[in-house]
A and B are shown apart, each in its own frame.
Chain A
Amino acid sequence: MDPKQYDNLQQSISPKPSILKNCLKAFLVGGIFCTVGQLITYIYISYFNFTEKTAGNPTVATMIFIAMLLTGFGLYKKIGQFAGAGSAVPVTGFGNAVISAAIEHKTEGFVLGVGGNIFKLAGSVIVFGVVSAFVVALVKLILVTMGVANW
């Protein structure tokens, strides 16, 4: 059997992932996260001295704190299994990646265990985050030059 035949055989046997269903799940769960984030933003704006411009930072911190609790109690894992990218792409997914690595390597000591491994998963998030931020900035630059939006 040559590799091509094997590939065909493998593809015909393995179950097809239902892309549409997974996308829908990710969309819904990610949307719920963002709605919660928006709610927290409104709380900060209406009950504390934050404006639309400044409420973003405390909101992100609060969302990561919630993600930390969910990770610690083992609930984020279940959400992640159901929603996939819907729970990994928002900032809570980043928090989960950092915190779960920290919990996992705690037994190896605080310096070489937690300190050395805390960005094990999140390192890739940072790398691709920076790259995609660059791409988004390029898109915005194009929009601004066209006059659709401004900085």
Chain B
Amino acid sequence: MKKWFGLLVILILVGCNNGKNDFMATNNKEEYQQQQQKIEQILKEDKHVKRVTAVFTKDSAIVGIEVKPFSKWNKQKYEKKWKKEVEKALPDRNVVVSTDLKLIMETDKLAKKQLSEKKLDKKIKDLKKLEKEET
């Protein structure tokens, strides 16, 4: 019994430690360093943002924003606001901004994979379509 309790405590502690990630994850292309910093600056000031993951290409960008638990009540409102801000910061791009778990997961996957610009553009287009789906 005592052994199991100890194991549980260790598991909980390990689980807590794992949550500590960097604030922003991207596909880290040098050409787009400036834009990445711009986005990071915009979102870092906001106290409702937990983590940001983004992928940039020449013509498009996808930004997944993880919202802090108690801020999820007003998620849609914040999403609208962030969408406006990010679109303003990246005026010549086709931008997708979302707080949806699916979009965040897919963006994380895209950031890890080293895909060509063309493929990324297509994936981002697909995700934009998916985001608009209602039922």
Near A by CB (< 8 A), chain B positions 60-74 give: 73-74
| Chain A residues within CB distance 8 Å of chain B | 45-46, 49-55, 57, 148-151
Residues of chain A lying within 8 A (CB to CB) of residue B37? none
Question: Are A45 and B102 in contact (CB-based, < 8 A)?
Answer: yes
Q: Is the interface of B mostly helix, strand, loop or mixed?
A: helix
Partner of A50 from the list B73, B74, B102 (CB cut-off 8 Å) is B102
Q: Which listed residue, A53, A149, A150, touches B100 by the CB 8 Å rule?
A: A53
Q: Taking CB as reference atom, which chain A residue is nearest B131?
A: A51
Given contacts A51-B100, A51-B133, A55-B102, 10 further A-B contacts (CB under 8 A): A45-B101, A45-B102, A46-B102, A49-B130, A51-B102, A52-B100, A149-B73, A150-B74, A150-B76, A151-B76
Measured between beta carbons, the chain A residues less than 8 angstroms from B134 are: 53-54
For residue B135, which residues in chain A have a CB less than 8 angstroms away from its CB? 54, 57
**Which residues of A are found within 8 Å of B133, using beta-carbon distances?**
51, 53-54
B124 beta carbon closer than 8 Å to chain A: no
- Of chain A, the residue at the smallest CB distance from B98 is A51
